[in-house]
Amino acid sequence: MGISISFENDTNKILQVSIQIRGSRISVGSAVIKPKDTYTKTDKGISASMTYNAIIEDLTSPMIFTGSKYETPKWYCQVQAPSMKGEKRYLLSELTSQPPPSEKRLSAARRSSGGEGGSNKDKFEEMELKHMLYVKAVGEYWGEQGLGLSALANRAASAQETYKAFAGAVAGDINHYKQMASGFEKVGNLGNSEYGTVKDFCNEYVNMRKLDAKETRSHAEGLIKQHQALLSHADQMGKFKNTVGIPVKALKEKINQSRQTCLKHFTKYRQVKDVEAKGTKLPEEPFLCLLKYQQAANGLDREEAGYLPAINEAARSMKDADAKRIRHLQTAIATMLQAEKTYHLQRIQRIEALLKASESINAEADYKMFSSELNWVGAGDPSKVKEIKFQPTELGLVFINRVVTEVKSGSQAEKLGVVPGWHMLQIDGKTTPPTHRQTEVILAQLKKSGRTISIKFGKTLNESDPFYRQPPPTRDAKLMQTLLDNEVAYKGNISVKSGIMGNWMECTGVISTTGKLHVFKKNLLEQVHVSISLVDSEMEVKSAQSGEILLKETQAGIFGSKLVKHCIKVDNPSEWLRQANPFLVRAQGADYQPPLPSSSPLRTRVPPANPGALRARVPPANPGPIPGASPDNDTAPLRSPPQPAQNGTDVQDPNL
């Protein structure tokens, strides 16, 4: 519904507000409100225009003795909810502007004792009034002492939290430096395949990374020790927090019990005096009641006298522990920061040295060394490979990778004829490693074994004749052309018609020895335009004069065979037909009839009586003009039709 009642604490006290239904003790809401805070109760028991009781308790001020007991100051007010949806706000300073009822009773007691203008000078009333004031002062005092003890415990707890937080930050640094160290160690095979100055720089860079990894791990180990020390001090502060106020708290509890005993005897004495004032029989002797009160008060005084040294000792102990903790924290911080500074300064020095080393990289010198490495003669030329056997002592060789760069004077190498520029191809029968570091390890092992060291050297080529100027071996082009010609039965110009009504396209035609007609658009260097299987084709000469021929090729497919027509035109029909006819004969069988010009009807084939008579045709070594054709006129029939034989088969043309 949105009906609300709000209480705003505009005082400097901590107040507790309870909302109750009038005529009952049923609470519909309660909250402790700190200064400058607001408590709002909406719906759930709040009805429009309804009046409620509001009980306000002061949790900051000391408790008040009301005659029989101590209680917090309270105000009893009435508040009303808004008549419609909305909020009604109350200021607690206005609701608590008047003294609470308990304060009013205390003021009445003061007036009755003559302290505020009364005429009664009775000693009992005066003592009661003084006692009540004493009780109020005691409540304020012990309230402050409780806050002091809480402050000591909170200080120790804060110190413990500071140690833990600082240890957590150091743990993060430890993980960071461990990851850095792992990254520094990942250099791979950097520079193994390089030469000269670049290789030297790569070696220095790898060494720096290894040193960085070592120093970083060492720095991380130092942080681990600091981290463990911080956690140890955090535990110590935790133990101190649990023990710093225990004796004081125990004494404070004992003093509170003694104070309650005093209050009990004083209340008993006051009740007896009330009975005495009425003139009735006394339940106890007032003197004895007051004496018991005095005895309890004397014990309370002794206990309170011992409290002050105890709380002072706790405060002093807290001060010493806190000062020691802060000095240790200061030392730990300074130590870690100094170690951090030293670590980074040393790394900066290594980086500066590496930066200076990078200036010595010489591209020309490195490429010259690379060229020298490339120009060595390998085992492929035994005449330029020399094997030399060394004694297992100092060889006298200075080398980079596999290349000998210097021969020491008076050494074995000089006496055995080794000269700078030679390449170490094999050591003890095994290929020389690519890096001089690996080679040094192998040579050291061989020296240690005491055996003779065998090294094969290769001499370098002249610098004026590097490897990239040497031509490659030539292949036998004539042999390749001969092989290619053996695979060709016919080669010549040929024209192909694109479609029945298309234009003629000049191409190059090749009949292979397998009976395939391959047509190239320009020359044999181009891709094949079309391939026609002559052994699967029938041929019809459209025009002997123009050389136009129709090839009907039977192509096999997934769903059966199909007939594909190809229109071609050749420059020399006689020669082309002489080369193509053997494959066509093979396709048609022994009864095949040579095709006629389109002006004559195609003859039908007569099945042979003896299919085994099918034979392959071998073209003559010196083919002449096609029979039946005039040397000067290609329009004549290419072949005369064969005469039928008596056995029902065609007569074999003597030219086939």
Residues facing residue 560 across a β-bridge: 557
What per-residue confidence (pLDDT) applies to 649?
36
pLDDT, mean over the chain: 77
Q: Contact 510/517 with Cβ under 8 angstroms?
A: yes
**Is residue 325's pLDDT more than 80?**
yes
- Start-end ranges of CATH 1.20.1270.60 in the chain? 166-358
What per-residue confidence (pLDDT) applies to 310?
81
Residue the block writes with tokens 């920061």: 337
Q: Contact 453/428 with Cβ under 8 angstroms?
A: yes
Residues facing residue 231 across a β-bridge: none
Q: Which CATH architecture has domain 369-469?
A: Roll (2.30)
Q: How does residue 594 score in pLDDT terms, banded at 50, 70 and 90?
A: low
Give the pTM. Answer: 0.42
Query: Could you read off the pLDDT of 363-409 as tens digits, one per residue?
Result: 888 777 776 655 554 444 555 678 899 999 999 998 887 888 889 99
Q: How does residue 123 score in pLDDT terms, banded at 50, 70 and 90?
A: low
- Start-end ranges of CATH 2.30.29.30 in the chain? 477-613
Q: How does residue 656 score in pLDDT terms, banded at 50, 70 and 90?
A: very low
Q: When comparing pLDDT for 652 and 237, which is higher?
A: 237
Q: How far apart are CA 199 and CA 369, in angstroms?
A: 11
For residue 592, the SS3 value is coil
Q: What angle do CA 178, 179, 182 make, to 5 degrees?
A: 90
- Start-end ranges of CATH 2.30.42.10 in the chain? 369-469
Query: Could you read off the pLDDT of 462-474 as tens digits, one per residue?
Result: 444 555 555 667 7
Distance of CA 619 to the CA centre of its chain: 77
Instruction: State the virtual CA torsion across 602, 607, 612, 617 in degrees, nearest 10.
Output: -10
Residues facing residue 79 across a β-bridge: 52
Q: How does residue 643 score in pLDDT terms, banded at 50, 70 and 90?
A: very low
Kindly report the CATH class assigned to 3-112.
Answer: mainly beta
- Tokens (6 digits) for 400: 């980079």
Q: How many of the other CB atoms lie within 10 Å of CB of 66?
A: 14
**Is residue 4's pLDDT more than 70?**
yes
- Tokens (6 digits) for 533: 């299987």
Q: How does residue 304 score in pLDDT terms, banded at 50, 70 and 90?
A: confident
Lowest mean pLDDT: which of 41-50, 229-238, 308-317, 614-623?
614-623
The yes or no reply on domain 477-613 and CATH 1.25.40.10 is no
Q: Contact 507/488 with Cβ under 8 angstroms?
A: no
Mean pLDDT is highest, among 19-28, 620-629, 638-647, for 19-28
Question: Could you tell me which of 134, 144, 154 has the C-alpha nearest to residue 308?
Answer: 144
Q: How far apart are CA 184 and CA 341, in angstroms?
A: 19
**Is residue 599's pLDDT more than 70?**
no
Q: How far apart are CA 481 and CA 510, in angstroms?
A: 15
Q: When comparing pLDDT for 99 and 483, which is higher?
A: 483
Q: Contact 110/104 with Cβ under 8 angstroms?
A: no
**Is residue 584's pLDDT more than 80?**
no
Q: How does residue 454 score in pLDDT terms, banded at 50, 70 and 90?
A: very high
Q: How far apart are CA 401 and CA 395, in angstroms?
A: 16
* CATH homologous superfamily for the domain 166-358: Arfaptin homology (AH) domain/BAR domain (1.20.1270.60)
Residue the block writes with tokens 């095994």: 430
Beta strands 27-33 and 504-512 are unpaired
What per-residue confidence (pLDDT) applies to 1?
67
Contacts 24+ apart (CB under 8 A), 332-337: 332/166, 332/226, 332/229, 332/230, 333/166, 335/226, 336/170, 336/223, 336/226
- Tokens (6 digits) for 271: 């009740």
Q: Contact 529/520 with Cβ under 8 angstroms?
A: yes
- Start-end ranges of CATH 2.60.40 in the chain? 3-112
Query: Could you read off the pLDDT of 189-242 as tens digits, one per residue?
Result: 787 777 788 888 888 899 999 999 999 999 999 999 999 988 998 888 888 877
